[in-house]
Structure 1
Amino acid sequence: MPYALVTGASRGIGQAMAAELARCGYHLLLAARSEQQLQAVAAELRQQYGVEVRVYAQDLAAPGAAAALAAWAAAQTQELSVLINNAGYGLWGKFEDLSLAEQQNMLQLNMLLPTELAHALLPLLRQQAKAYILNVASTAAYQAVPTLTLYAASKAFLLSFSRGLRYELRETNVSVTCLSPGSTTTNFADRAGMNAALQETANKVSMTPLQVARIGIQAMFTGAAEVIPGALNRVSAALTSFVPKSLTEKIAAGIYEKHLK
């Protein structure tokens, strides 16, 4: 049976993707920082779907984490055929007011971890009959977002990286897809440090992690280049191609900046 590696699998979209892959018959390698949460997810998936689930608990933003995770995954199985790069988070606030160290940590997790994992695991993925890489970006990838400046930039990087890598691998067995969700009912807002007013606004248009995961997994298996779950999110992203950047930035700033203390 094939295996799938999912990062950021202890909750939210990552947990939902792991469940969806288990439902499809994949054995799982789950990675995240919290061992307790990972073990709970693993136990539930083993019981519900009867698949093998192995966990790797580590701070994935730490130096050398990607290489260590890739080595662990390769030691677990030679049948790895899916890599889900889901680990990541955002930081809300003005660039100069946020800690540089914390912003660097976010960039390491959002950008360098998926880059390093893809590079390290591509030789193993290439050995399979068919293999997939799914990178989880955000609708923020399609425009600059003041007060989420580096987060949006990191997701824009991930989108561009996914499309470039996809083209390079177009004549191989490895398909690359980028999933760009909008607001989702996860702990993103809490982790980003957003206040209650912003969270309440986001919740009005949020999708569930399971909805996002099913759309993303389906798009991956059908070989889509990129997918944006939700009609409203797709329209918003499309408008950024026609509306002046200065206007989209002003609109985004109007949503986020007014809630800063």
Structure 2
Amino acid sequence: MKSKTVLITGASSGIGEAFAHECANKGANLILVARSQVGLAEVSKKIQEKYQVQVALIAMDLSVEGAAQELFQQTKDKELDVDILINNAGFGKWGRFEDFDLRTYKGMLQLNINTLTELCYLYLGGMKIKRSGGIINVASGAALMPVPYAGVYSASKSYVLNFSEALYNELEETGVTVTCLCPSGTKTNFAAVANNEVSVDEKQYETAEHVAKVGLHGFLANRSYVLSGKQKMLLSILPRFLSRSKLLKLSGKIFKKIVNNKKIGLMEGR
């Protein structure tokens, strides 16, 4: 990855920030994207003090329509050639379906699905011409099963997983890799965004640094998807041994209790 250019969305904190440090440690130059200019500046300062790499910052809200095209145009205008795209930006809401308004859900779907898809489409062409590089799409452990009380979020992450794996297969002979990272519980500010009334069981959570390492290792090993976190074995085994109806009943029972008790024990976070 030395001297390659990596674009990371949602890079001002959590898994995105961890990815930035991991890539810089391997000698990659960075384009960091997030809503917070202040947050991006803080991350950039830490990285440039520690690593001899170039860091470009772009502050923008990717949950609005047209943001992907605007970001692509900005990188073109700055003559920044993207070798690796890490689609990390995303958010979810945790509670009963009707607890949140449609505007919130539209923003979630725009960011988690539409912007991610558009960014893959826009940057993929250059990668195919060079026959190198690739994409890491960050989904969630919630992509592996229906999750009542986070239905829109889990459905959006199922899209990311299925889309990423399909694209991986399409690109097998092009030199371009697509890896989907599915984290389970991760110590970030995701829980605060998902529902600020819900507390977090820290013992169930993995560090963002570990999750980024797992994701990057999987990408460099040409894996179509990787799981991370302390619940990864459970998440990978249950869908294999339970019918869809039994899995749904179990999932609903667990997450209804979580919501009613105002406590998250199995939730990916960014």
**TM-score using structure 2 length:** 0.91
Q: For 2:149, give the aligned amino acid.
A: T
For 1:170 and 1:93, locate their aligned partners in 2 and report how far apart those are by CA, in whole Å: 39
Give the superposition deviation at 1:179: 0.3
| Partner of residue 221, structure 2 | 222
Find 2:112's aligned residue among 110, 113, 116: 110
For 2:171 and 2:222, locate their aligned partners in 1 and report how far apart those are by CA, in whole Å: 12
Residue 173 (structure 1) aligned with residue 138 (structure 2): no
Q: Does the 8 Å contact 2:184/2:230 carry over to 1? A: no
For 2:132 and 2:112, locate their aligned partners in 1 and report how far apart those are by CA, in whole Å: 26
Q: Does the 8 Å contact 2:205/2:229 carry over to 1? A: no
Any residues of structure 2 matched to 1:15-164 within 5 Å, and which?
Answer: 15-77=17-79, 79-164=81-166
| Partner of residue 232, structure 1 | 231
Give the superposition deviation at 1:129: 4.7
Secondary structure class of the residue paired with 1:228: strand
Q: Does the 8 Å contact 1:78/1:124 carry over to 2? A: no
Structure 1 residues 223-245: Cα deviation after superposition (integer angstroms, max 9, x where no partner): 10100014631332222122122
Q: Does the 8 Å contact 1:138/1:182 carry over to 2? A: yes
For 2:206 and 2:116, locate their aligned partners in 1 and report how far apart those are by CA, in whole Å: 24
For 2:79 and 2:175, locate their aligned partners in 1 and report how far apart those are by CA, in whole Å: 18
Structure 2 gaps of 5+ residues are 263-270
Structure 1 residues 174-229: Cα deviation after superposition (integer angstroms, max 9, x where no partner): 110000000000011110015344x12xx222100000000100110111010001
For 2:225 and 2:21, locate their aligned partners in 1 and report how far apart those are by CA, in whole Å: 21
Q: Does the 8 Å contact 1:12/1:209 carry over to 2? A: yes
Secondary structure class of the residue paired with 2:30: strand
| Partner of residue 266, structure 2 | none
* Residues 77 and 235 of structure 1, relative CA distance in 2, 3 Å threshold: farther
For 1:218 and 1:77, locate their aligned partners in 2 and report how far apart those are by CA, in whole Å: 28
Q: Does the 8 Å contact 2:205/2:230 carry over to 1? A: no
For 1:22 and 1:211, locate their aligned partners in 2 and report how far apart those are by CA, in whole Å: 15
Equivalent residues, number: 258
Structure 1 residues 109-164: Cα deviation after superposition (integer angstroms, max 9, x where no partner): 11111100010111122233521100000010010000000000000000000011
Give the superposition deviation at 1:2: 1.5
Name whichever of 118-127 and 103-112 sits farther off.
118-127
Structure 1 residues 75-132: Cα deviation after superposition (integer angstroms, max 9, x where no partner): 3345421000000011112223320110110011111111000101111222335211
Q: Does the 8 Å contact 1:74/1:124 carry over to 2? A: no
Residue 189 (structure 1) aligned with residue 200 (structure 2): no
For 1:76 and 1:222, locate their aligned partners in 2 and report how far apart those are by CA, in whole Å: 31
Q: Does the 8 Å contact 2:131/2:174 carry over to 1? A: no
* Residues 48 and 55 of structure 1, relative CA distance in 2, 3 Å threshold: same
What is the Cα-based RMSD across aligned positions, in Å? Answer: 1.5
**TM-score using structure 1 length:** 0.94
